[in-house]
Amino acid sequence: MTPIEMRNAKFGPIVAKNLTNRGFEAVYMATKEEALAQALAWIPADAVVAWGGSVSAQQIGLMDEVKSGKYNVIDRDKAANPAEKVELMRKSLLCDVYLTGSNAISQDGQLVNVDGNGNRVAAITYGPKNVIVIAGMNKVVPTVEDALTRARTEAAPINMQRFVNENTSTVCAKTGMCGNCNSPDCICNDIVITRRCKPAGRIKVVLVGEELGF
């Protein structure tokens, strides 16, 4: 094991326990393969599954699995036009299982997320029967304040690069750094701290001992 893997093996279960103490159902898995197996174990065969944009879920192979035909999926990427995509995003709020990542997690077990449209943080907060969060240990930071900083100044500027075009007006799109903007294209419109999970166990977190997402 590398020093990082050794550290994660000791630290990850502590963060998972802190999440559990706040009502989340949380586990630590050392590898992507173990994380995928755990996530799939939480998804019933007849479940309606939807998702927010989650690079972490893609990286462990979860998106390929849920799109394999085994599940009933709400896939917004198959929308014929923007209006249909919005409607599918709205329908996702009533799914059985919602898949997402997290922009940051504090060591004491709180999730911090920023969102441009609000659909992802809305689903985390209320609506879907179950939410599965996939997060690499690189997302874990000491405090909620550090988590807010990470979400705004690290995760958001990187995520914005996925949506950049010649008309994008945010500071981070142009400089790669957060400018605390008030742009119409801002992806930090909603900032949500999930400090407890209610009802207990609705939000399930897989902490992965690898670097995932942004």
Of 27-41, 69-83, 172-186, give the range with the top mean pLDDT.
27-41
Does residue 97 sit within a domain?
A: yes
- The pLDDT assigned to 6 comes to 96
Q: Is 175 exposed, middle or buried (0-12, 13-18, 19+ CB in 10 A)?
A: exposed
Does residue 106 sit within a domain?
A: yes
Does residue 43 sit within a domain?
A: yes
Torsion angle, alpha carbons of 173, 178, 181, 186, to 10: 50
How many angstroms separate the CA atoms of 138 and 211, rounded?
A: 5
- Please write the tens of the pLDDT for every residue from 48-89: 999 988 899 999 999 999 999 989 999 999 999 999 999 999
The two three-digit tokens of residue 14, written as one number: 């502590």
User: Could you tell me the CATH number of the domain that includes residue 152?
Assistant: 3.40.50.10420
Does residue 213 sit within a domain?
A: no
Does residue 58 sit within a domain?
A: yes
Whole-number average pLDDT of the chain = 96
Spatial CA neighbour of 100 closest among 119, 85, 80, 120 = 120
Does residue 143 sit within a domain?
A: yes
Does residue 214 sit within a domain?
A: no
Domain around 126: 3-208
The larger pLDDT score, comparing residue 162 to residue 125, is at 125
How many angstroms separate the CA atoms of 5 and 68, rounded?
A: 31
Does residue 30 sit within a domain?
A: yes
| 179 touches 171 (CB < 8 A) | yes
Overall average pLDDT of the 133-145 stretch? 98
Q: How many domains does the chain have?
A: 1
